[in-house]
Amino acid sequence: MRPVHSFALGAWVAPGPDPREIESAITGEVIARAGGSALDMAAMRDFAVARGGAALRTMGFHDRARMIKAVALHLRERRALLYDLSFDTGATAKDHLIDVDGGIGTMLVYASKGRREMPDGLVYLDGDPEMLGQSGQFQGQHICTPKQGVAVHINAYNFPVWGMLEKLAPTWLAGMPAIVKPATSTSYVTEACVRLIHESGLVPEGALQLVTGGVSDLFDHLRGQDVVTFTGSAATGLQLRSHASLLSNTVPFTAEQDSLNASVLGPDAIPGTPEFDLFVKEVVREITVKAGQKCTAVRRIMVPEVSMDPMQDALTKALTGITVGDPRDPAMRMGALVSAAQKQDVLRAADRIGQEAERVFGDPDTMAGLRGAFLPPMLYRCDAPDDADVVHQTEAFGPVSTLIPYRDTGHAAYLMNRGGGALVASVITHDASFARDITMVAGAFHGRLYFNNRDSMADATGHGAPLPHMVHGGPGRAGGGEELGGIRAVLHYMQRTAVQGSPDILSAITGAHVTGASTDSGKRHPFTRAFDDLAIGDTLVTPARQVTLKDIETFAVFTGDTFYAHMDEEAAAANPFFPGRVAHGYLLLSFAAGLFVQPDPGPVLANTGLDNLRFMTPVSPGDSIYVHLTVKAKRRRTETYGEVRWQVTLYNQDDTQVAEYDLLTMNAY
């Protein structure tokens, strides 16, 4: 019998005298006990804030990203332990890849995005500075800094590892500590994962605490700097989001709830097309992976009326090949539901669906001989979906799905939307106009739309897979929340603040040069100074260079760019943008480099790109240009070099801006 501990105030706490029993999904035997311990929730919150939050906030985004990567690699080396435990939740070896490897992979993506897309500092910049006054000496910038409370993550039972890690990664990257409360029925897997993280010694004390069992009075102690995320049923979500303390303290609450996800077969995808076969494959996978206990599983299968019979035949044939049994047996394609209670829940929901639809595949009685919480895949068929209600409203959280006909594009989108807001819908079609028309009607009701066909199927990641790069969540019934989506999720754990002030003030706060801030042009050429010797605001002002007609013609002939604006005085003058022949923009960029480059070997290793290039004023033959090159931002990239972002501004002889861009170089430390 495994006692499932909580981890509170830096110590492991055993279950109390009246814990909940947890059964094996495979045998039905009690294998673990959890909960019932008297945890001091107020102290846990304070501990998270005072220790975990304080320690995380002294680290920059890149330090935290490195920490997340190290934790992920630590878990990856030890994942076999988590696989082993997960079998008892009913999951097959393939299911472990989604939960365990999926969770670790999500952490790795966040670690990488944190280093590539966030600054090497403490403040995240949301957008560019806004000019708020005439002279440029009063500007605004949106910044994000970590919330100074704790993130409470309440997770569903179906993904005990992924559910925790996909929320921890953005939370930690933002700089917030977390208290994780897994669903009791699979909490032994989460507990093992938290033990591995704790044993790694990679995470500051207080950055992660674990509550197994109930959360007691935790919500009473939450305040406006805290965040609650919830994944689970709509009923629990409603109960939690209406907690008086969350409402009176305006604690942000993000929910990921049930979802009546649809998969739609395009009218073009008739039997015999690659799309028809792809649809069968995707739908069967979504019904059977994790025994259908996936928030994104396909609950409603929508096909053109004429394809109902062929699709029913194809699905029936494919589902016949699904072996159900002990997930430790590699021959089994589908494991068990998490518990006998969950199995009963699913059967009750299936019975309700059965009032409006006919079961055409999968008899639960065939599993009666098995001890665990086993069910076969069950396919229903509803020929009158407009009159149906339960079919569009009932999430049987198991291997249950309903086949539904649609008449035309509008009808398909209407039926999709009858789910009342969903996490995802897939559309299998090779007809781009059908995809576009569906999107215009169903987009607002869905957090994600997944299109797949013969062109994308080799690469496609699957209807049901929430990816760290893309948002996961949905409107209405799906909870109205949003997770993942790259750096978007990190911002849920940060406060966005509009800061207004002079460029010097904004530069000091953001750690990035703001146009108009003081510069220092009194030092050695910046290309001769190592990464660590460059300060934000260091500037080189070059001498001027005249641009002649001969320069323009030579460049035109050399590059082949003989566009009339450079070569034909009359045609150029007729163009509303030009006074006559003008220099090529690319010629000006090249001359700018010629003006600011220091040619000798030195710390500048490579030019890796230009961002935000704008040509503002045409340069006519006889005009001159000079350049301001200013260190705008820096980020360390590897052990030996970092990236320098230079603000480059070209001026003409009247000090009017001609062009502006960011130049990126890699510089040795």
Interface positions with ligand NAP (CB under 6 A): 154-158, 181-185, 215, 231-233, 236, 239-240, 256-259, 295, 395, 397, 423
Instruction: Identify whether the C-beta of residue 641 lies closer than 8 Å to the C-beta of residue 531.
Output: yes
| Strand pairing report for 2-4 and 30-34 | parallel
Measured from the CB of residue 628, what is the shortest distance to ligand NAP in angstroms? 50
Instruction: Identify whether the C-beta of residue 435 lies closer than 8 Å to the C-beta of residue 427.
Output: yes
Nearer to ligand NAP, 81 or 349 (CB): 349
CA angle in degrees (0–180, nearest 5) for 108-111-116? 125
Distances (CA, A) of 269 to 209, 280, 309, 381, 442: 50, 11, 14, 20, 20
Nearer to ligand NAP, 376 or 447 (CB): 447
- Residue of 256, 275, 356, 482 with catalytic role: 256
Q: Side chain identity at 455, as an amino acid letter? A: D
Nearer to ligand NAP, 174 or 180 (CB): 180
- Residue of 23, 191, 193, 295 with catalytic role: 295
Q: Rounding to the nearest 10 degrees, give the CA dihedral for residues 433, 434, 435, 441.
A: 110
Measured from the CB of residue 312, what is the shortest distance to ligand NAP in angstroms? 26
| Residue 357 DSSP label | S
Structure tokens at 261: 């996800």
Closest CA to 531 of 660, 629, 637: 637
- Which residue of the chain is nearest ligand NAP when measured via CB? 232
Nearer to ligand NAP, 154 or 278 (CB): 154
Report the Cα 312 to chain-centroid distance in Å: 35
Q: CA 363 to CA 192: how far, in whole Å?
A: 36
Q: CA 445 to CA 477: how far, in whole Å?
A: 10
Distances (CA, A) of 68 to 61, 105, 166, 498: 10, 11, 11, 29
Q: Side chain identity at 87, as an amino acid letter? A: F
Measured from the CB of residue 119, what is the shortest distance to ligand NAP in angstroms? 30
Instruction: Identify whether the C-beta of residue 293 lies closer than 8 Å to the C-beta of residue 330.
Output: no
Nearer to ligand NAP, 75 or 338 (CB): 338
Q: Rounding to the nearest 10 degrees, give the CA dihedral for residues 210, 213, 214, 217.
A: -50
**SS3 string of 287-322?**
HHHHHHCCCCCCCEEEEEHHHHHHHHHHHHHHHHCC
**Surface-to-core class of residue 95, CB atoms within 10 Å of its CB (0-12 exposed, 13-18 middle, 19+ buried):** buried
CA angle in degrees (0–180, nearest 5) for 17-89-185? 35
Measured from the CB of residue 154, what is the shortest distance to ligand NAP in angstroms? 5
Closest CA to 457 of 266, 318, 277: 277
| Residue 538 DSSP label | B
Structure tokens at 121: 């500092």
Measured from the CB of residue 20, what is the shortest distance to ligand NAP in angstroms? 7
Measured from the CB of residue 157, what is the shortest distance to ligand NAP in angstroms? 4
**Surface-to-core class of residue 203, CB atoms within 10 Å of its CB (0-12 exposed, 13-18 middle, 19+ buried):** buried
Instruction: Identify whether the C-beta of residue 369 lies closer than 8 Å to the C-beta of residue 26.
Output: no
Measured from the CB of residue 86, what is the shortest distance to ligand NAP in angstroms? 15
Measured from the CB of residue 9, what is the shortest distance to ligand NAP in angstroms? 20
Q: How far apart are the first and last CA of the chain?
A: 55
Nearer to ligand NAP, 175 or 466 (CB): 466
Distances (CA, A) of 520 to 138, 526, 653, 666: 20, 11, 22, 21
Measured from the CB of residue 62, what is the shortest distance to ligand NAP in angstroms? 29
Partnered with residue 606 across adjacent β-strands are: 666
Nearer to ligand NAP, 162 or 661 (CB): 162
Nearer to ligand NAP, 85 or 552 (CB): 85
Nearer to ligand NAP, 230 or 434 (CB): 230
Nearer to ligand NAP, 42 or 440 (CB): 42
Measured from the CB of residue 93, what is the shortest distance to ligand NAP in angstroms? 20
Measured from the CB of residue 236, what is the shortest distance to ligand NAP in angstroms? 3
List Cβ neighbours of 590 (8 Å cut-off, separation of 6 or more): 555
Nearer to ligand NAP, 239 or 500 (CB): 239
Q: Pinpoint the alpha helices (H) of 91-186.
A: 93-96, 102-117, 162-174
Nearer to ligand NAP, 155 or 417 (CB): 155
Measured from the CB of residue 215, what is the shortest distance to ligand NAP in angstroms? 5
Q: Is 256 noted as a catalytic residue in this protein?
A: yes
| Residue 45 DSSP label | H
Q: CA 526 to CA 663: how far, in whole Å?
A: 13
Cβ neighbours around 375 below 10 Å, total: 26
Q: Which are the catalytic amino acids?
A: 256, 295
